[in-house]
Amino acid sequence: MKDTFLYLLHPSWRSLWNRDRGKPGSGTIKNAVIFTLGALFWVGIFYLFYRVLSYFQGVEVIGNILAVKLLTMITVVFFSLLVFSNIVTALSAFYLSDELVLLHSMPLSLERIYLAKFTETLLSSSWMIVLFGMPVFGAYGVVYRASWDYYGAVLLGFVPLLVIAAAVGIICTMGLVRLFPARRTKEILVLLSILVMVSLYLLFRFLQPERLFEEAELDRFINFLAMVKTPSSVYLPSHWLTEFLVPLLFGKPGAPLFHFLLLASTAMASVTIGTWVGGRIYIDGWMRSQEGGGTRLAASSWIHRASDFLTRPLGMQTRAVVRKDIQLFLRDTTQWTQLLLLGALIVVYLYNFRVLDLKKIPLATVYMQNLLSFLNMGLAGFVISAVAIRFVFPAVSIEGKSFWLIRSAPISIERLLWSKFRMYLVPLLVLSEILIVLSNWFLNVSGFMMGLSIVTMVFLTVGIVGLGIGLGAVYPRFFVENVAKIATGYGAILYMILAMGFIALAVFLEAWPVNVIFMSYFAGIEIHASRWVLVVCALALVAVLSLAVCVLPMQLGVRHLEARES
Amino acid sequence: MIELREVTKQYRDLVAVNRLSLHVNRGEVFGFLGPNGAGKTTTIKMIAGLMRPTEGSVLVGGIDVAQDPIRAKALMGFIPDRPFLYEKLTGEEFLRFIGGLYRVDGRQLAQRVDELFELFSLRDFRDELIEGYSHGMRQRLVMGAAFLHHPEVVIVDEPMVGLDPQGARLVKSIFRELCARGKTIFMSTHTLGVAEEVCDRIGIIHKGELIALGTKEELQQQAKGGAERLESIFLQLTGGEEMTRVVEYLRS
């Protein structure tokens, strides 16, 4: 064992085993939540495919052909995803991991390191795709009442497919690193993968999958599937997997053994070829990645000029803080990926209002529109909080290990926090107003509701940003490696709970007087001036509440950071 | 024991190490000094087999590190300046893993692990996860890992960083003891007092070139004005002009 490459994986296994050591309780809850969400997602995928395949089964003549076609498309997508995932993972495992200096300083053969890293890449890049791919193949088996041979074949056929995808991905990575620096390549690929994911998510939403539950739409889907050309080739391993599974699934004649042997022999050949290629080019690439080479940035790009212009009205210290934060934000690719995901969330949010068919709801439409507009304020507030937890709450924590610089500079904590408040308030205010105006426009609400929503969103955003900066300062996490992790701590959860409470309270304060006005309007009763005074009072209360929610946590944050110093 | 023959390392336009030739004898503690960016870490990485020279060769125990890295590395223990440790392993699990890589096994490994935990005052922490170790404890653990397989040559990059005075004293005496047993130590350091106290010979590298080599007495002779302290010799050889400019600037 100690002489094999598997021994090099020992620390990873052991680390996994020790992961929750010394953290009683916290790991269990987190694991339970993740497990439940994963199980729900798994069941959802299974149900979707079960429904589609059951419908195919009922279609005469071409039903099975469509099912095979869909299976071919799925295996092609799986194989492509696996190769891409392996390319990204291999960059970390083979070139960027800190462990590599230790391993390369040991008397270990390159072949042994290569095989260990190959296994690590294969496992970490494939497990999730396999896990969430299984309900798809499970649904095929259940719908077509396949025998146990089929399930065994799925497991048996997947192993060589994963090995081939890993070998191809790793060889591609080794080639890429010969041409480009490893770190930059990884950043670009991660961004690209998020972009692809977001596009797929948007595409999926725009296809309106809920319509598949209507028979007419399923018919249209079948027509589409029948026309579309399957992007497969007899030389692709995904095709061999399909050819291996189809005879067992439908009890049709075929050559499953031949295709399985093709898969297995290609997998073995790909490992051998990968090891041979690795032996020739890997170590040179790794040594080059050690040599580093700084990234040169243009001294004065348009971004610098724009941030200079925008921050001109601010005081010198505030300006310095804001400009530094903008520069760091733009250079941190983990922030970009979060931005992309949130962008997709917002587009889908607006799209849901766009496709909302109010005519289907059996209530007075004008009343419904305005009621929805009210709920929309709460939902928009929720979206802004979701953005704020990712960007505003970590604003203090991202000072990180360099916080001593701020503390040793002649700038007060109070000024620092308010500088950050101003920096985040402006973009979030713009975003919240765009959200509320567009969604209200799609809902076609009255002018009164539009005006009320616009003013309310200003108050809500001020509160959400102040609460975020303030609590972020009370619960700073200066030493996390990944910025995205700041939004998952105890302080972040508390922030989200408080923000939700604040939004609910603000909406509730306005809901009652506004509802009274609407009810009077529908009943044809004249609306007394005192009713309008109530609305103004409610709005004033919301304003006071928002200011309190903004200022109090900010002061608490200032005190906490100052006390931290002493 | 360590031999560098006309070693050059070039990164694009920058020559980090230029035609460096050096011979370190068995049983010698060799100090490798130089200002920041002089080429110390690059040289150390080439000796440890983590980088390949653009030209020239590095031999450890007569073995060319680039030609036969595995045999060469088996003779060495390497302690980097910013060592990587598996945060989620305990100290003992880490040492046992390293033992496996160097083929130290069974009772011999258990005995050696006990010895090292005792030697580096880590016995009470052997079952704690490394993520809970202080900087100095990590440094001591890495040293333990480097000494675990009784290496013939120990390559150390900045050995004293993060160590308390007790730890520093311990490391110095270990180096002297190893030296007395015929082991060779090659260390780069900024702590000139340590170099002065521990090293048999010192090499000073500046802008990628070896500008001085010898015992402390020999270096005193090489420096103009007969400076006595190593710090004065070092500054005279590497940073005299810069220091003068700084002093003049401050005066103005």
Chain segment B125-153, per-residue pLDDT in tens: 888 888 888 888 888 898 899 998 889 99
Q: Report yes or no: A106 at the B interface, CB cutoff 8 Å.
A: yes
- How far lies A201's CA from each of A73, A197, A342, A348, in Å? 18, 6, 12, 9
Is the model's pLDDT at A147 over the cut of 80? yes
A177, two tokens = 């690193």
Helical spans, DSSP H, in A392-446: 403-408, 413-443
Q: What is the pLDDT of residue A353?
A: 76
Overall CATH class of domain B2-251: alpha beta
| Best B47, B63, B86, B148 residue to mutate vs chain A (most A CBs within 10 Å) | B86
Better-predicted residue by pLDDT, A362 or A492: A492
**Complex confidence, ipTM:** 0.73
Mean pLDDT, range A552-560, rounded to an integer: 94
Q: Report yes or no: A99 at the B interface, CB cutoff 8 Å.
A: yes
Give the closest residue to B196 by CA, choosing from B160, B159, B230. B230
Residue B33 CA to residue B212 CA, distance in Å, equals 10
pLDDT digits (tens, 9 = 90+) for B95-126: 888 888 888 877 888 899 999 999 888 888 88
- Please report which confidence band the pLDDT of residue A554 belongs to, taking 50, 70 and 90 as the band edges: very high
Q: What is the pLDDT of residue A23?
A: 60
Mean pLDDT, range A197-216, rounded to an integer: 66
Q: Scan for tokens 């004005």, then name that residue.
A: B225
Is the model's pLDDT at A460 over the cut of 90? yes
Q: Report yes or no: A112 at the B interface, CB cutoff 8 Å.
A: no
pLDDT digits (tens, 9 = 90+) for B2-60: 999 999 998 877 888 999 999 999 999 999 988 888 888 899 999 998 888 999 999 99
**Residue B55: CB atoms within 10 Å:** 13
Q: What is the pLDDT of residue A298?
A: 47
B92, two tokens = 């003992």
Q: What is the pLDDT of residue A480?
A: 74
Residue A372 CA to residue A369 CA, distance in Å, equals 5
SS3 helix, strand, coil % of chain B, rounded to 5? 45, 25, 30
Closest Cα of chain A to B99: distance in Å?
A: 10
Which residue from A7, A108, A293 is facing B11, i.e. has the nearest CB?
Answer: A293
Report CA dihedral (B31, B37, B39, B44) to the nearest 10 degrees: 60
Residue A320 CA to residue A317 CA, distance in Å, equals 5
Q: Report yes or no: A14 at the B interface, CB cutoff 8 Å.
A: yes
Q: What is the pLDDT of residue A365?
A: 62
Average pLDDT of the residues of chain A: 82
- Please report which confidence band the pLDDT of residue A164 belongs to, taking 50, 70 and 90 as the band edges: very high
For B106, the 3-state DSSP assignment is: helix
Q: What is the pLDDT of residue A315?
A: 75
Residue B86 CA to residue B4 CA, distance in Å, equals 32
**Residue B19: CB atoms within 10 Å:** 15
Residue A361 CA to residue B119 CA, distance in Å, equals 78
User: Chain A to chain B, count of Cβ pairs less than 8 Å apart?
Assistant: 76
For B75, the 3-state DSSP assignment is: coil
Q: From A15, which residue of chain B is nearest by alpha-carbon distance?
A: B88
Mean pLDDT, range A311-327, rounded to an integer: 76
Q: What is the pLDDT of residue B171?
A: 82
Q: List the Cα angle A70/A71/A74 in 5-degree steps.
A: 85
pLDDT digits (tens, 9 = 90+) for A468-521: 999 999 999 887 766 667 777 788 889 999 999 999 999 888 887 777 777 777
Check CB contact under 8 Å for A18 and B88. yes
Edge to edge, the sheet with strand B63-64 lists B14-24, B2-11, B55-60, B63-64
pLDDT digits (tens, 9 = 90+) for B169-216: 888 888 888 888 888 999 998 777 778 888 889 888 888 888 888 887
Determine the residue type at B20: L
Q: What is the pLDDT of residue B230?
A: 66
Contact (Cβ atoms closer than 8 angstroms) between residue B157 and residue B188: yes
Least confident of A72-81, A448-457, A463-472: A72-81
Residue B69 CA to residue A407 CA, distance in Å, equals 48
Which neighbouring-strand residues pair with B10? B15
Contact (Cβ atoms closer than 8 angstroms) between residue A12 and residue A99: no
Q: Which of A318-327, A539-548, B156-165 has the highest mean pLDDT?
A: A539-548
How far does CA B131 lie from the centroid of its chain? Answer: 24
Closest Cα of chain B to A401: distance in Å?
A: 15
Q: What is the pLDDT of residue B133?
A: 87
Which neighbouring-strand residues pair with B214? B202
- Please report which confidence band the pLDDT of residue A306 belongs to, taking 50, 70 and 90 as the band edges: confident
| Best A102, A281, A295 residue to mutate vs chain B (most B CBs within 10 Å) | A102
Do you know the residue count of chain B?
252
Q: What is the pLDDT of residue A466?
A: 96
For residue B98, list chain A residues with Cβ-Cβ distance below 8 A: 106
Q: What is the pLDDT of residue B239?
A: 65
Q: What residues have CB less than 8 Å from A338, skipping those under 6 apart?
A: A390, A391, A484
Considering chain A, what percentage of its residues have pLDDT values greater than 70?
Answer: 85
Better-predicted residue by pLDDT, B160 or A360: B160
Three-state SS sequence of A135-148 = HHHHHHHHHCCCCH
pLDDT digits (tens, 9 = 90+) for A242-284: 999 988 888 777 788 999 999 999 999 999 999 999 988 898 8
Least confident of A102-106, A109-113, A192-196, A445-449: A192-196
Residue A364, phi then psi, degrees to nearest 5 = -55, 125
Q: Scan for tokens 């336009």, then name that residue.
A: B13
Q: Where are the domains of chain B?
A: 2-251
Better-predicted residue by pLDDT, B153 or A322: B153
Contact (Cβ atoms closer than 8 angstroms) between residue B238 and residue B223: no
- How far lies A122's CA from each of A167, A197, A289, in Å? 8, 20, 22
